[in-house]
Amino acid sequence: MTLQANAMGTPTRRLDGAPKVTGTAPYAYEQPVKNPVYVHAVQSGVARGTIRSIETVAAEAVDGVVAVLTHRNATRLADVGDDELAVLQSDSVAFRGQLIAAVLAETPEAARHAARLIQVTYDDEPADTELRADREDLHAPEGEDPPDDRSRDEFAAAFSSADVRVDQTYTTPMLHNNPMEPHTTVAVWDEESEVRLTMFDSTQGVHVVRSTLAPLFGLRPEQMRVVAPHVGGGFGSKGMPHAHNVLAGLAARAVPGRPVKYAVPRQQMYALTGHRSPTIQRIRLGAERDGRLAAISHDSVEHSSTVKEFAEECGKPTRSLYAGAHRLITQRLATLDVPVPSWMRAPGECPGAFALEVAMDELAEACGVDPIDLRIVNDPELDPKTGHPWSSRRLVECLQEGAERFGWAARDPEPGRRQTGGTLVGMGVAASTYPCFRSPGSVARIEVTDDGRYSVRIGAVDIGTGAWTALTQIAADALGCDMELVKLEIGDTDLPHATVAGGSSGLTSWGSAIVEAARILRHEHGASPRVGTTVEAETPDKPRGVAVHSFGAQFAEVHVDPDTGEIRVPRMLGVFAVGRVINAATARSQLIGGMTMGLSMALHEVGVMDHRTGHVVNHDLAEYHIVTNADVGDVEATWLDDVDPQANPMGSKGIGEIGIVGAPAAVANAVYNATGVRVRDLPITADLLLR
């Protein structure tokens, strides 16, 4: 049964808002610790090879240096089969920027200075870092079966006999998560204590940090504690521990009893904390003359690293978004000498929807139908991927309501014709979708405390999304009490296990556990349980036999200067169907944040890899451009009045990622409408539109 909403649905202010804006909310690095040691890391200067020599004498001689760690003296770690985490364990170098040494010093300045004095020579080998679709070594990701010959043949037949065909290739560049708060860890190793290793970490999941790192250091889970008090964003890059976490542990191990503080410098994040792989995507759409899709194919190529495989699954949205009898989705990877790719907001869906949704715009033009109508005629009754019914699918309503609000009728379908004041004007639309994941294994504990309140404990993390507030609202409604009576504790492995804040799954996974615990409490102990009463419950299983997705429609208006090609986006609108919105204020922030990040991807962001060296050369925020305030016009997000009872007990679905899905395509389609220039390779920059 869906929970009755009282606190839910209100735009309750962030509980952590005041401490954050007054600067009193302690982030991981700001944990008060006594007598800390500071860490500064050294990165490899070659992309592939072995370290021949590493000279640390000069660094060790710097005043204030406590220790220099290299592969020669760092603690041996247990092999857990994840080479990204095998930090300082061997002399081999697998990508440029890999951690190869670290200085521990009494001050950050001494550590940084000494790190620069470390002399390294390499036996370097030619590195291979360039992704191309014509490489001969492309291979399917581990564990994925490529489509069989029959489905290939059927697709080919359907495609070649289609009335209207689109066959184009789209690319997106290497992208970097760049959360506002860099990755930071404060770690203490204590031989005397039951808990050997304590970490204050800027992470999206305390339990995953512990379960990953404890075995490396030969610890049982109880011997390690991870705390994530406040987190300044992650966008996936803090969803699993990366090499820097291991380095923090190694450093702590080297100076038992002394806290070590490690903040990854912004410049080093580009190689160390994950990135989105560049993608090359071929889309083929075969349709009847009215736009009805008969054949859809999405072939994508991404890079992965020799250290660890990660696949950016671009085909995901194409499996479910539109009807069409014949569907062919393939993915191939090139394993290159590059930093380890990882999750970045809507991995797969985001770049995948860029390609698919620009191709749909091209198809609409080829068929002479409105892009909105094209999406309406191809709205599938059942999920094409699973054949299951949708829990709810209101994409068409999102498109229609958005068109109305945005003034879509004013769009001239003929590109390059509308001008105001000498500026080219265009509009674009794209669909958004994201699955509603529920991760198993979170546990919520509710205890009745002697002040007559409810202590709600779960090891979830609020990475700035507003989860703290929204979970409190959910708990209040689940318990049928005022929010003031709920005391929520999160962000600590001392609390019951919780899954990672990722895949837009947080509220569904953690909230469902809280609702279940509250249900048991009321069921077993009534309306006024005794002080000390404690119940625990795990996230119930996800619903079966039903496809649960969020949907949305995104609109963009683009202005292009005909002389310089400069692009401005005065307004964007997203209309979403995301189930019940638990907190209107924080939800809006998530949605417009995603849309803004999508705008940034459309027009600005590109990690420039110099293939001669495997180095991301524009590795700071002056050179790696992210939208500034001046680039962001009126970005509005709104949603349908929606409750999806099948999604979870709150009737809500995830909202953290859907905002970025579709936004880049809406902008790209608007650029085409404004100029008549179809740019299929992101980012779309002024030079590409010059005449």
58 binds another protein (CB under 8 A): no
| Residue in 312, 357, 516, 657 annotated catalytic | 657
317 binds another protein (CB under 8 A): no
Q: Minimum distance from CB of 623 to another protein (Å)?
A: 6
Torsion of CA 645, 650, 654, 655, to 10 degrees: 110
Total residues in contact with another protein, by rule CB under 8 A: 37
176 binds another protein (CB under 8 A): no
Q: Which of 30, 397, 631, 681 binds another protein (CB under 8 A)?
A: 631
Q: Annotate 546-612 with DSSP letters as a single string.
A: -B-EEEEEEEEEEEE-TTT--EEEEEEEEEEE-B--S-HHHHHHHHHHHHHHHHHHHHT----EETT
d(CA 682, CA 314): 15
Nearer to another protein, 103 or 227 (CB): 103
Q: Minimum distance from CB of 617 to another protein (Å)?
A: 5
Q: Which of 143, 528, 612, 641 binds another protein (CB under 8 A)?
A: 612
Q: Minimum distance from CB of 88 to another protein (Å)?
A: 19
Site for another protein in 547-576 (CB under 8 A): 562-566, 568
Nearer to another protein, 105 or 307 (CB): 105
Q: Which of 48, 113, 411, 588 binds another protein (CB under 8 A)?
A: 113
Nearer to another protein, 410 or 690 (CB): 690
528 binds another protein (CB under 8 A): no
Site for another protein in 14-43 (CB under 8 A): 43
423 binds another protein (CB under 8 A): no
Nearer to another protein, 346 or 569 (CB): 569
d(CA 225, CA 207): 9
Q: What residue type is 309 in one-letter code? A: E
Q: Which of 126, 422, 532, 545 binds another protein (CB under 8 A)?
A: 422
Q: Minimum distance from CB of 690 to another protein (Å)?
A: 5
> What does the H/E/C string look like for 641-669?
CCCCCCCCCCCECCCCCCCCCCHHHHHHH
531 binds another protein (CB under 8 A): no
Q: Which of 288, 414, 482, 623 binds another protein (CB under 8 A)?
A: 623
Nearer to another protein, 17 or 265 (CB): 265
419 binds another protein (CB under 8 A): no
CB 439 within 8 A of CB 539: yes
User: Which residue stretches of 70-148 are H helix?
Assistant: 108-117
Q: Is 605 a residue of the active site?
A: no
171 binds another protein (CB under 8 A): no
d(CA 64, CA 451): 50
What 473-476 contacts at long range (C-beta under 8 Å, 24+ apart), as own/partner pairs, is: 473/7, 473/8, 473/10, 473/12, 473/582, 473/583, 474/3, 474/7, 474/8, 474/507, 474/511, 474/514, 474/515, 474/582, 474/650, 475/446, 475/514, 475/518, 476/6, 476/7
Residue 679: name the closest of 182, 439, 671 by CA. Answer: 671
Q: Annotate 175-226 with DSSP letters as a single string.
A: B----SSPPEEEEEE-SSSSS-EEEEE--S-HHHHHHHHHHHTT--GGGEEE
Q: Minimum distance from CB of 563 to another protein (Å)?
A: 4
Q: Minimum distance from CB of 1 to another protein (Å)?
A: 49
d(CA 308, CA 388): 34
618 binds another protein (CB under 8 A): yes
Q: Which residues carry out catalysis? A: 657
Q: Kindly list the residues in this chain that would bind another protein in the complex (CB under 8 A).
A: 43, 45, 109-110, 112-113, 116, 422, 562-566, 568, 603-604, 608, 610, 612-613, 615, 617-619, 622-623, 625, 627-631, 685-687, 690-691
